[in-house]
Amino acid sequence: MDFELSAEQRLLRDTIRKFTDEHIRPVARELEAEGAYPEDIAARMRELGLFGLCVPEEYGGMAADMVSLAVVFEEISRGWMGVAGIIGSHSLSCWMIAKYGTEPQRARYLPELAAGTRRTGIALTEPGAGSDLQGIRTTARREGAGYLVNGQKTWITNARHADPLPVLVKTDPAARPAHAGMSVLLIEAGTPGFEVVRDLPKLGYRGPETCELVLDDVRVPADALLGGVEGRGLQQVLAALETGRINVAARAIGVAQEAFDQALRYAGEREAFGKKISEFQAVQLKLADMAMKLQAARLLVFWAAARADAGQRADLESGMAKVYASEVALACAIDSMQVHGGYGYSREFTVERLYRDAPLMVIGEGTNDILRTVIARSLTSGRGIIE
């Protein structure tokens, strides 16, 4: 059992770490405070080819393995988790188009998505349906040579930049079970009736936009149906979310690592009662707990990623990694704030942003409570975990 990154993966890690230190850290606090979109950072990510992480090489992408994907998202999130969102849902959507799209769909979209001249995301959640995707109400009625789409979506990252945007719809609202009537349509920007209504205000995860959408009699051609066959949308989405959970878990590791690094540095600098606070047992216990949880979470993420790379089913593993890593990120952010004392509550210190960013990973890509039921269902069905 090899717990080491390959030479290629280490080179990728070092490259992304250097990029983060040089181009993300120096501007993160200012841009995050302003709520400004990091256009310059996005342009540099295009130059690095990061928009093509999940795009096959024949379409100009990196075809990165899942461990490499985890490394990229961890390193970027150490600098600013919000920036990772720009390529997060983009990568998930690219993976889904590459795996399930028709050849004309792959040829039309993937080369430009890999180059970053197009971007994408994924539109699943609705005002009345989040964890229960089978409860969505957006419909796509077959009309003539295409579909007429009506509905709403919310909490959609990259909505203002996505072209195309994969949208989960019901092509047969009467189907039972409901998932048998669900499909994904690739809707291009500028299509009449497709409107981004507003950007949602957020506690953290600033940088990329998170929006509400309205689809009012949006006409899309029949060849916009992902894969060309109706009724497979939920299956396509759930498979993509397995990779998405690895991505979110890796972001959580980045936040946790940064929280630990900030606490360790500060504890070695701050003095109280005539000595460094790192010499106080109470602080030492926090640092030790943070380090143990962090490394355990990272190994769990790499385990899930390695299972996916081996072509094995990884819904259980990615769910476990996402739940544990996100809760470690939240715990480390709080512990780091406590090590910093009053300064940890100040916007002049990085830990305050980490404290606001960490909760997203607990909620996003499937809430942890829902994922616990998914994990339990896998275990009680006899699937078990690797021995």
Q: Which candidate in 75, 258, 352, 365 is catalytic?
A: 365
Q: What CATH architecture does domain 235-380 belong to? A: Up-down Bundle (1.20)
Cα gap 228→186, rounded to integer Å: 11
Q: From the CA atom positions of the chain, what is the Rg in Å?
A: 21
Question: Average pLDDT, stretch 152-178?
Answer: 97
pLDDT-based confidence at residue 385 (cuts at 50, 70, 90) = low
Res 130: pLDDT: 87
Question: Average pLDDT, stretch 64-71?
Answer: 97
Question: Average pLDDT, stretch 33-57?
Answer: 96
Question: Average pLDDT, stretch 28-40?
Answer: 94
Q: Where are the beta strands (DSSP E) in 223-375?
A: 271-272, 275-276
Listed residue (194, 279, 180, 153) closest to 235, CA to CA? 180
Per-residue DSSP letter, 220: E
Q: Does 365 qualify as catalytic in the annotation?
A: yes
Given a cut of 60, whether residue 386 has pLDDT beyond it is no
The pLDDT tens digits of the residues spanning 282-292 come to 999 999 999 99
Question: Average pLDDT, stretch 37-56?
Answer: 97
For 218, the 3-state DSSP assignment is strand
Q: Which residue ranges make up each domain of the chain?
A: 7-115, 133-231, 235-380
**Which of the listed CATH numbers 1.10.540.10, 3.30.70.20, 3.40.50.1980, 1.10.3210.10 matches domain 7-115?**
1.10.540.10
Cα gap 86→121, rounded to integer Å: 9
Question: Average pLDDT, stretch 202-211?
Answer: 94
| CB proximity list for 15: less than 8 A, separation 6 or greater | 48
Res 31: pLDDT: 95
Please state, rounded to an integer, the average pLDDT across all residues of the chain. Answer: 95
The pLDDT tens digits of the residues spanning 71-89 come to 999 999 999 999 999 999 9
Given a cut of 60, whether residue 183 has pLDDT beyond it is yes
Identify how many contiguous H helices and E strands the chain contains and give both numbers. 10, 8
- Burial class of residue 33 in the structure, from the number of CB atoms within 10 Å of its CB (0-12 exposed, 13-18 middle, 19+ buried): exposed
Res 54: pLDDT: 97
Res 3: pLDDT: 82
Res 355: pLDDT: 97
219-238 burial: b if 16+ Cβ within 10 Å, else e? bbeeebbbbeebebbbebbe
Residue 275, beta-bridge partner list: 272
The pLDDT tens digits of the residues spanning 212-267 come to 999 999 999 999 999 999 999 999 999 999 889 999 999 999 999 999 999 999 99
Question: Is the model more confident about 161 or about 383?
Answer: 161
Q: Which CATH superfamily is domain 133-231 in?
A: Butyryl-CoA Dehydrogenase, subunit A, domain 2 (2.40.110.10)
Percent of the chain residues past pLDDT 70, beyond the cut: 99
The pLDDT tens digits of the residues spanning 358-384 come to 999 999 888 999 999 999 998 988 876
Res 125: pLDDT: 96
Res 383: pLDDT: 72
Given a cut of 80, whether residue 39 has pLDDT beyond it is yes
Listed residue (168, 272, 286, 293) closest to 230, CA to CA? 168
Res 1: pLDDT: 67
Q: Where are the beta strands (DSSP E) in the chain?
A: 139-143, 146-157, 165-170, 182-187, 194-199, 210-221, 271-272, 275-276
Given a cut of 70, whether residue 387 has pLDDT beyond it is no
Question: Average pLDDT, stretch 109-138?
Answer: 96
The pLDDT tens digits of the residues spanning 303-362 come to 999 999 999 888 899 999 999 999 999 999 999 999 999 999 999 999 999 999 999 999
pLDDT-based confidence at residue 131 (cuts at 50, 70, 90) = confident
Res 13: pLDDT: 97
pTM of the predicted protein model: 0.95
